[in-house]
Structure 1
Amino acid sequence: MEDNFELEDCGDLSPILFACNLNSEIFTSNDLKTQLENQFLNFGLAHFVYLPSFRRMRVEYNTAEEAILAKISLHNTVFHDNEMHIYFSQSAMSTQDTTTSLAPPKAEKQFLISPPASPPIGWEPIEENKPMFNFDLISAVVELEPGQSHELHKATTTT
């Protein structure tokens, strides 16, 4: 492996690595954990999270450059009788890429959904008409007496 290489444009890569296919004994032995962590600490300060049910370890570096160096050096190396596979974590989506995200609605008539503390500039209340009373209906209801049968619709020859 060549040590004299330049790291160019690491902005898209995550500083988080996953070490996969770890031996199960690593998760129960503090000595093995320390040995494994020391291999990763050769490339920079890192934070380790063990995932025993997946036989994996999450390694978070401060920079993507440190993660790249660790991946290049440690990928497919054997540790405690198992060949480790090192992968980058999926990086978060860029905030500039909004084509795959939903945009919030335009603020046209949002005051109708949730009224503001004060009405919009230029808003004037509309004068409403007085309520209409159907006096025929009210007089028919008044004429109803309890205990009597009431005909809602007059019968026709077909009904």
Structure 2
Amino acid sequence: MKIKAKIGTAIAMAALMALPVQMAFAAEASPTIEEEYVQGDGIIVARSNTGDSWYRFPFDTNGSTWATDGRSKEDASSAYIQVRTMTMDYCKVYIDGGKTINGPWSNQVSYWSGTNTGNSCSVTSPGQFGIMNRVNENKLGYARLTGWACSQPGVLAGYWSPDSWGTYPKIND
């Protein structure tokens, strides 16, 4: 059974503070957080994977690429990226989608593909952004953030999450 809930920011923050993960929070001015929940065994559990993970892409040459570890993609929301450090004019980022295989490593990703998961987008300044993607819709299960130094070497660093519940400017379409 799916339940749509709107909760105030203060209530959401108080409830989430008990969780042992860092969360990707909406902009400070956002009055409500809209999230989809799944009820199972009498417990309401958040579906989205919005915990922040640190990334650092030290592009040492023009054309070099870096990717984060894969994370579970739980819903059809945009991925979240916060750019804190950027030492080049611009670079490209995109969301890869991956599938798991059955075997001795239960969550081993068998392959990664940027094909049919969304368009790459240009990062031109620090800030918080959404990256639209179709990882969940294509039933791939896992997402990772990938970056490409298309113009010059430099460092791109910050936080990201495969799902988001905030309203952020989209940097791709």
TM-score exceeds 0.5? no
TM-score normalised according to structure 1 size: 0.29
Which structure is higher in RCO with an 8 Å CA cutoff and minimum separation 6?
A: 2
Whose strand fraction is larger, Structure 1's or Structure 2's?
Answer: 2
Whose helix fraction is larger, Structure 1's or Structure 2's?
Answer: 1
